[in-house]
Amino acid sequence: MPEKTFARLLAIVAIAVSTVVASGQNAPATLTIHPDQPTSTVSPTLYGLMTEEINYSYDGGLYAEMVRNRTFRGDWSGILYWYLVEDGNARAKIEVDESTGPSSALPKSLKVNIEQADAKNQAGVLNVGWWGMALHRNTIYKGSFYAKAGSTDIGPITVSLVNDNTGKAVASATVDGIGTDWKQHTFALKTGEIEASASNHLVISAGRAGTLWLQLVSLFPPTYHDRTNGFRKDLMEKMAAMHPAFLRMPGGNYLEGDHIKERFEWKKTIGPLVDRPTHRSPWNYQSSDGMGLLEFLGWCEDLHMQPLLAVYAGYSLSQEHVNPGADLEPYVQDALDEIEYVSGGPDTKWGAERAKDGHPAPFKLSYVEIGNEDWFDRSGSYDERYTQFYKAIKAKYPDLQLIATAPVKSVKPDVIDEHYYVRATQNFHDAAHYDTPDGNSSSMQKWDSGHFDRADRNGPKIFVGEWATREGSPTPNMGAALGDAAWMTGLERNSDLVVMAAYAPMLVNVNPGGMQWETDLIGYNAMKSYGSPAYYAQVMFASYLGDHTVASRLENGGEKLFYSATLNTAKKQIYLKLVNASSDAQPLELAMPGVHVAASARMVRLSAPDTQTTNSIEDPTRLVPVESTLHNVNSKLMVTLPPYSIQVLQIDLQ
Ligand code: AHR
């Protein structure tokens, strides 16, 4: 489970197995499972992660950088998130200087022209951070900036973290030796016995008249696994609890960009930060590209996930596409280079580049996705584009599994990526979506115009690369969690076909203006984060995955009862997921004929009084799973599933 707080909240309650007879409950249902009859395999990679630069998922989220707009972009209103500081009678002006910067990627800079200042009355700039800067007591924050001065007379530069409410510096450092050429300078800011708060900002100032240029101002808190340029600890811990097997990276729409020139150009996201020009995300804000290709791979390494690499395939969201054939060749080569950067040995051209960037060991890569949601491409060019990538990649990497994002006829894709964004009611229907290869799909309405033929067992494998029950904002409520859980029972039952699936999007900054897409799994502000009920449903399902489904039969289950039964062969355990989406309690008789089971079983349950009940940044643990022990278990038992409940039952076989 993700965090100590949550662990403390887990009430370990011993309850006797009993038959509950009460009003307001459904007729009893019977579930017969045969643990000794494995039926189909469950993919070990079934559950993974998907997000992108949306909802301030990286900048202002997972990527722990505390400075907002560290490269000084401006608009008509001024330099975004930066303000002039003039203490006392100090006087200064700031502007973006387009004529000088520390690198060709960052050719501009912030010019601070200080007309008057002294040691007590300093002038400079302040940055407000991502809706504040979270500071904790006795903590070291490591920072850096590139700077140069009109003359060395500029003297020492003061860097301080200042509390918004008191105006007092809570940590301060001086940086000496600013010369007349661009150079990176580092500093460390240590807090004392402060009260943790996000009401802080960063001030950079000087105490003498002169001209100072700044670029790439950066400040990091301690990060997960102490990575330089790393990730927020709380968010990484929450993701680790989801036991993800893969990361689909770098997105989504984010891969494509609104325009071809705004695609995720991976070569511009590697190497020193000063060589990354930044780019506009299709979610209407600039990406710092601090989360570059190697950072995504580091994220995979930290959480023991395999990368599922999506390569740009020549289509961008505003209906721009690259013609298949000669025009597309450079993009195909770019994808081949990218694959080599990820998985090639240090003796290859791009593997050597990765080694130079600090990671000599290649990453294991099994899946490459070609494009994203290419059914939106009205030119109809995807079949040819996919085929061109497919042939070139397979020629060099025959073992890679290549994922298509829309139907393709010219070659048979290894895997098809399907996306579903639906309401809970839809997911109650769709729980049966993959149950039979020729099932009646008339009740199923796909999310948009991306119509795929109904998948069968002889066609490509399925990757449900994006899915979510979209109810609740910014994060899903219990009704959505029930829809998700019902859907996941169907994924598990059909995981011989559905080899991977990922909820999307995963992250949202809950501050005003932070969200571009409603219903995201995990919410946060600068200071803290929380998991939604749907997040906990994911944690529960992925924590008890199993490797095979077992033969089973449900009778009198009604329309709001969903289940999956899987076996962990090595541990000799049955994992039974039971979802009661009804407002009434559901008595259930469980029968496991012909097997002996341990007398006690573990139950993990998430339940709520109403579908609208939810967690929030103010009330982060209103709904959390509760663990209990069932006693007197044998091969026949009665359980009662409370209204609006999701449970995992772990039964040990003997
Ligand atoms: O997850 C949000 C968006 O939904 C993704 O960027 C895109 O692939 C889909 O349309």
| 57: nearest Cα among 467, 468, 474 | 474
CB of 340 shorter than 6 A to ligand 1: no
Q: Is 16 helix (H, G, I), strand (E, B) or coil?
A: strand
d(CA 77, CA 158): 26
pLDDT at position 445, please?
Answer: 34
CB of 253 shorter than 6 A to ligand 1: yes
| Ligand 1 atom, smallest distance to 253 CA | 6
pLDDT at position 23, please?
Answer: 54
Tell me how far the alpha carbon of residue 465 lies from the centroid of ligand 1, in angstroms: 10
**Residue given tokens 């975004």 in the structure block:** 80
CB of 52 shorter than 6 A to ligand 1: yes
**Residue given tokens 């598990």 in the structure block:** 492
CB of 251 shorter than 6 A to ligand 1: yes
pLDDT at position 626, please?
Answer: 98
pTM: 0.94
| Ligand 1 atom, smallest distance to 421 CA | 4
| 463: nearest Cα among 520, 429, 413 | 413
CB of 517 shorter than 6 A to ligand 1: yes
- In tens, the pLDDT along 96-122 reads 999 999 999 999 999 999 999 999 999
Token output for 457: 């067992």
**pLDDT higher at 452 or 545:** 545
Among protein residues, the one whose CA lies closest to atom 8 of ligand 1: 252
For 471-524, the three-class secondary structure string (H helix, E strand, C coil) is CCCCCCCHHHHHHHHHHHHHHHHCCCCEEEEEECCCEEECCCCCCCCCCCCEEE
CB of 374 shorter than 6 A to ligand 1: no
Q: What is the largest CA-CA distance in the chain?
A: 88
Q: What is the mean pLDDT of the chain?
A: 93
**DSSP state, 40?**
E
Among protein residues, the one whose CA lies closest to atom 2 of ligand 1: 505
| 308: nearest Cα among 251, 226, 238, 269 | 251
CB of 252 shorter than 6 A to ligand 1: yes
Tell me how far the alpha carbon of residue 54 lies from the centroid of ligand 1, in angstroms: 9
Q: Does the pLDDT at position 5 exceed 80?
A: no
Distances (CA, A) of 410 to 149, 165, 404: 60, 64, 12
Does the 47-63+230-250+278-540 domain belong in CATH 3.20.20.80?
A: yes
**DSSP state, 227?**
-
| Ligand 1 atom, smallest distance to 504 CA | 1
CB of 373 shorter than 6 A to ligand 1: yes
State residue 187 phi and psi, 5-degree precision: -155, 165
pLDDT at position 29, please?
Answer: 96
Question: Domain ranges in the chain?
Answer: 23-38+546-652, 47-63+230-250+278-540, 74-222
| 331: nearest Cα among 391, 395, 388 | 388
**DSSP state, 461?**
E
Tell me how far the alpha carbon of residue 429 lies from the centroid of ligand 1, in angstroms: 22
| 379: nearest Cα among 455, 321, 304 | 321
Residues 440-464, mean pLDDT to the nearest whole number? 56
Tell me how far the alpha carbon of residue 551 lies from the centroid of ligand 1, in angstroms: 36
Q: What percent of the chain has pLDDT over 70?
A: 93
Tell me how far the alpha carbon of residue 463 lies from the centroid of ligand 1, in angstroms: 15
Token output for 86: 């003039």
Tell me how far the alpha carbon of residue 252 lies from the centroid of ligand 1, in angstroms: 5
Among protein residues, the one whose CA lies closest to atom 5 of ligand 1: 252
CB of 472 shorter than 6 A to ligand 1: no
List Cβ neighbours of 396 (8 Å cut-off, separation of 6 or more): 336, 339
Q: Does the pLDDT at position 214 exceed 60?
A: yes
Mutation pick for ligand 1 pocket among 54, 376, 466 (CB with most ligand atoms within 8 Å): 466
pLDDT at position 456, please?
Answer: 73
Tell me how far the alpha carbon of residue 140 lies from the centroid of ligand 1, in angstroms: 37
Q: What percent of the chain has pLDDT over 90?
A: 91
CB of 520 shorter than 6 A to ligand 1: no
Mutation pick for ligand 1 pocket among 405, 516, 517, 518 (CB with most ligand atoms within 8 Å): 517
Mutation pick for ligand 1 pocket among 55, 57, 58, 253 (CB with most ligand atoms within 8 Å): 253
CB of 466 shorter than 6 A to ligand 1: yes
Output the CA angle 479-482-483, nearest 5 degrees: 90
**Residue 141: half-sphere exposure toward Cβ, Cα within 13 Å:** 29
| Ligand 1 atom, smallest distance to 251 CA | 6
| DSSP codes joined into one string, 384-446 | HHHHHHHHHHHHH-TT-EEEESS--SSS--SEEEEEEEE-HHHHHHHTTTTSSTT---TT---
The alpha carbon torsion through 510, 514, 515, 516 (nearest 10 deg) reads 180
462: β partners: 416, 498
- In tens, the pLDDT along 39-61 reads 999 999 999 999 999 999 999 99
**Residue 367: half-sphere exposure toward Cβ, Cα within 13 Å:** 28
Token output for 448: 């948009």
Tell me how far the alpha carbon of residue 371 lies from the centroid of ligand 1, in angstroms: 12
Mutation pick for ligand 1 pocket among 318, 373, 375, 519 (CB with most ligand atoms within 8 Å): 373
**pLDDT higher at 457 or 227:** 227
Tell me how far the alpha carbon of residue 405 lies from the centroid of ligand 1, in angstroms: 12
d(CA 565, CA 577): 6
Q: Does the pLDDT at position 7 exceed 90?
A: no
CB of 504 shorter than 6 A to ligand 1: yes
d(CA 230, CA 132): 19
**Residue 371: half-sphere exposure toward Cβ, Cα within 13 Å:** 34
| 493: nearest Cα among 40, 124, 67 | 40
- In tens, the pLDDT along 611-620 reads 999 999 999 9
- In tens, the pLDDT along 303-352 reads 999 999 999 999 999 999 999 999 999 999 999 999 999 999 999 999 99
Mutation pick for ligand 1 pocket among 258, 281, 317, 419 (CB with most ligand atoms within 8 Å): 419
CB of 129 shorter than 6 A to ligand 1: no
Distances (CA, A) of 526 to 264, 318, 473, 493: 26, 33, 19, 39
Inter-residue contact 532 to 521 (CB < 8 Å): yes
- In tens, the pLDDT along 479-509 reads 999 999 999 999 999 999 999 999 999 999 9
Residues 260-266, mean pLDDT to the nearest whole number? 98
Inter-residue contact 229 to 295 (CB < 8 Å): yes
pLDDT at position 442, please?
Answer: 34
CB of 372 shorter than 6 A to ligand 1: yes
CB of 187 shorter than 6 A to ligand 1: no
Beta strand residue intervals within 267-414, DSSP E: 279-281, 285-287, 306-311, 315-316, 320-321, 367-370, 401-404
Tell me how far the alpha carbon of residue 629 lies from the centroid of ligand 1, in angstroms: 40
23-38+546-652 folds as: Immunoglobulin-like (2.60.40)
Q: Does the pLDDT at position 123 exceed 90?
A: yes
Q: Helices marked H in 187-305 — which ranges?
A: 233-240, 253-256, 293-302
d(CA 543, CA 332): 38
As to burial, measured by CB atoms within 10 angstroms (0-12 exposed, 13-18 middle, 19+ buried), residue 134 is buried
Residue 387 is which amino acid? T
d(CA 513, CA 210): 37
> Beta strand 47-50 with 82-86: parallel, antiparallel or unpaired?
unpaired
CB of 218 shorter than 6 A to ligand 1: no
Tell me how far the alpha carbon of residue 316 lies from the centroid of ligand 1, in angstroms: 13
> Beta strand 315-316 with 320-321: parallel, antiparallel or unpaired?
antiparallel
**Residue given tokens 């990276």 in the structure block:** 249
Tell me how far the alpha carbon of residue 521 lies from the centroid of ligand 1, in angstroms: 14
Measured between alpha carbons, how far apart are the two ends of the chain, in Å?
Answer: 27
Q: pLDDT tier at 437 (50, 70, 90 boundaries)?
A: low
CATH of 74-222, one of 3.30.70.2740, 2.60.120.260, 3.40.50.620, 3.40.640.10: 2.60.120.260
Neighbours of 197 (CB within 10 A): 17
Token output for 364: 């294991």
Rg (CA), the chain: 27
pLDDT at position 25, please?
Answer: 87
